[in-house]
A and B are shown apart, each in its own frame.
Chain A
Amino acid sequence: GAVVSQHPSRVICKSGTSVKIECRSLDFQATTMFWYRQFPKQSLMLMATSNEGSKATYEQGVEKDKFLINHASLTLSTLTVTSAHPEDSSFYICSASRIIPRAYYGYTFGSGTRLTVV
């Protein structure tokens, strides 16, 4: 089955530093990956859509300069939280879709990254 690996699962960083989160599709190619943010006991909020070889598309209200997304290959997308602040602390989840047919397979999600900024 389709597997998406997300790393790290937990990270604690100091305020003002940057942290990178990786999302890898292990056994399939993903032209599109998605990054979500989830606050405690809330739903997933789509932050951006990551397309291989092109710039990410950010949702309204998401700071593209703070949340840098790179999708350099068909199996890897990265989210870098720059100059992190305590309010950036959250659970971040990535997901990936197979090239075709994406809706049939749905989307495979990574196991998430809990970011704590101190």
Chain B
Amino acid sequence: AQTVTQSQPEMSVQEAETVTLSCTYDTSESNYYLFWYKQPPSRQMILVIRQEAYKQQNATENRFSVNFQKAAKSFSLKISDSQLGDTAMYFCAFMKTRDDKIIFGKGTRLHILP
């Protein structure tokens, strides 16, 4: 069975700083997808970034980038120039290529401080 582990329950950083959220996963699959979702106080789930396991190049979306280490089964999220609006719960998620289900980690609550 697949598992997703986020070892940082909560983090706080000053506005404009860079922060990295950790995520590790366990799977025997060779092809899969990884996601980071953001859940702000409104509780609306928002896709931040996605990574396809067969792509070695790390995905980037503006201020958000990932460090994907397939051999280590690690998928960290880096937020550069953090903004107050980045305050949210962040979930790392895994999906097998041949499946529809997304498996979520327990989440990291991120506070951006003014």
Name A residues whose Cβ lies closer than 8 Å to a Cβ of B.
32, 34, 38, 41-44, 46, 49, 91, 93, 95, 97, 102-104, 106-109, 111-112
| A106-B35 contact in complex given A43-B91, A44-B91, A49-B101, C-beta closer than 8 Å | yes
| A102-B100 contact in complex given A43-B105, A44-B91, C-beta closer than 8 Å | yes
| A91-B43 contact in complex given A43-B91, A103-B52, C-beta closer than 8 Å | yes
Check if A103 sits within 8 Å of B107, measured CB to CB.
Answer: no
Check if B45 sits within 8 Å of A109, measured CB to CB.
Answer: yes
Q: A43-B91, A93-B43, A111-B42 are known; give 9 further A-B pairs, CB within 8 A.
A: A34-B101, A34-B102, A42-B106, A44-B45, A49-B101, A103-B50, A106-B50, A109-B46, A111-B43
A34→B43 CA distance, assembly (Å): 16
Closest Cβ of chain B to A40, distance in Å, is 11
| A106-B100 contact in complex given A43-B106, A43-B107, A111-B42, C-beta closer than 8 Å | no
A41→B45 CA distance, assembly (Å): 14
Check if A32 sits within 8 Å of B44, measured CB to CB.
Answer: no
Check if A103 sits within 8 Å of B43, measured CB to CB.
Answer: no
| A103-B95 contact in complex given A32-B100, A44-B104, C-beta closer than 8 Å | yes
| A109-B44 contact in complex given A44-B91, A103-B95, C-beta closer than 8 Å | yes
Which residues of chain B are within 8 angstroms of A95 by Cβ–Cβ distance? Answer: 45, 102
